[in-house]
Amino acid sequence: MKELSLKAKIIIAAVVTLLLSTVLYFKDGERLIDGGVLKRPDKGVSYVDVTAFVEGTDEGIAMKIPVEQSELSSKEATQAIEKACNELPEQIRGGNRSLSEVKSELKLPALTADGVRVEWFTDDYTLVSFDGAVHNENLAEDVKQEVTLWAELSAGKEKKLISFPLVVLPPERTETQEAEFKLRSAVSETEQSPGEEIHLPLSVDGKKVTYYTTGEESGAFLIMILGLAVCALLFFREKERQKEAYQKYSRLMQEEYPALVNKIAILLASGMSVRMALENVASGGNSDQPAIQTLKNCCIRMENGVSEVEALRLLAEECGQKEYRKLSALLSEYVRKGGRNLLKNLQNEADVYQEERKRLARRRGEEASTRMLLPMMLELGAVMALVMIPAFLTFRGF
Hey, which residues does 64 pair with through a beta bridge?
49
| Same domain (yes/no): 99, 163 | yes
Backbone φ and ψ of 214, nearest 5°: -95, 125
385 within some domain: no
224 within some domain: no
| pLDDT band at residue 152 using 50, 70 and 90 as cut-offs | very high
61 within some domain: yes
| Same domain (yes/no): 250, 366 | yes
User: Could you say which DSSP state residue 36 is in?
Assistant: G
Predicted confidence at residue 165, as pLDDT, reads: 92
| Same domain (yes/no): 246, 339 | yes
Give the residue with greater pLDDT, 66 vs 292.
292
- Per the structure, how many domains does the chain have? 5
216 within some domain: no
Residue closest to 130 by CA, chosen among 171, 92, 99: 92
| Same domain (yes/no): 46, 120 | no
CA-to-CA distance for 130 and 124, rounded, in angstroms? 10
Backbone φ and ψ of 129, nearest 5°: -90, 170
140, 181 contact by CB (below 8 A): yes
| Same domain (yes/no): 63, 96 | no
Torsion-angle region of 358 (φ positive above 0: left; ψ -120 to 50: alpha; else: beta) = alpha
395 within some domain: no
pLDDT tens digits for range 27-78:
555 555 666 666 666 565 666 677 777 776 777 777 776 666 566 678 888 8
pLDDT tops 70 at residue 130: yes
Whole-number mean pLDDT of the chain? Answer: 76
Query: Worst-scoring range by mean pLDDT, 14-18, 57-61, 188-192, 213-217?
Result: 213-217
In sequence order, what are the residues at sequence separation of 6 or more whose Cβ sits closer than 8 angstroms to the Cβ of residue 268? 274, 277, 342, 343, 346
6 within some domain: yes
pLDDT tens digits for range 66-100:
666 566 678 888 888 899 899 998 888 888 888 88
292 within some domain: yes
Predicted confidence at residue 74, as pLDDT, reads: 81
Predicted confidence at residue 93, as pLDDT, reads: 87
Residue 64 belongs to what H/E stretch? strand 61-68
Predicted confidence at residue 389, as pLDDT, reads: 72
Q: How far is CA 196 from the centre of its chain?
A: 48
| Same domain (yes/no): 339, 304 | yes
| Same domain (yes/no): 144, 248 | no
Give the residue with greater pLDDT, 307 vs 177.
307
| Same domain (yes/no): 362, 310 | yes
Q: How far is CA 335 from CA 51, 187, 201, 268, in A?
A: 82, 93, 94, 12
Q: What is the CATH number of the domain that holds 317?
A: 1.20.81
Predicted confidence at residue 151, as pLDDT, reads: 92
pLDDT tops 70 at residue 23: no
116, 81 contact by CB (below 8 A): yes
| Same domain (yes/no): 95, 155 | yes
Count Cα atoms within 13 angstroms, Cβ side, for 57.
7
| Same domain (yes/no): 249, 371 | yes
Hey, which residues does 159 pair with through a beta bridge?
154
Hey, which residues does 379 pair with through a beta bridge?
none
Predicted confidence at residue 398, as pLDDT, reads: 46
- Please state the rounded mean pLDDT for residues 317-323: 80
Residue 118 belongs to what H/E stretch? strand 117-122
| Same domain (yes/no): 157, 82 | yes
397 within some domain: no
CA-to-CA distance for 313 and 321, rounded, in angstroms? 12
Predicted confidence at residue 376, as pLDDT, reads: 76
Note the pTM of the prediction, 2 decimals: 0.37
- Please state the rounded mean pLDDT for residues 224-253: 78
In sequence order, what are the residues at sequence separation of 6 or more whose Cβ sits closer than 8 angstroms to the Cβ of residue 89? 99, 164
Count Cα atoms within 13 angstroms, Cβ side, for 289.
17
| Same domain (yes/no): 266, 163 | no
* Structural domain that includes position 153: 74-168
CA-to-CA distance for 177 and 136, rounded, in angstroms? 14
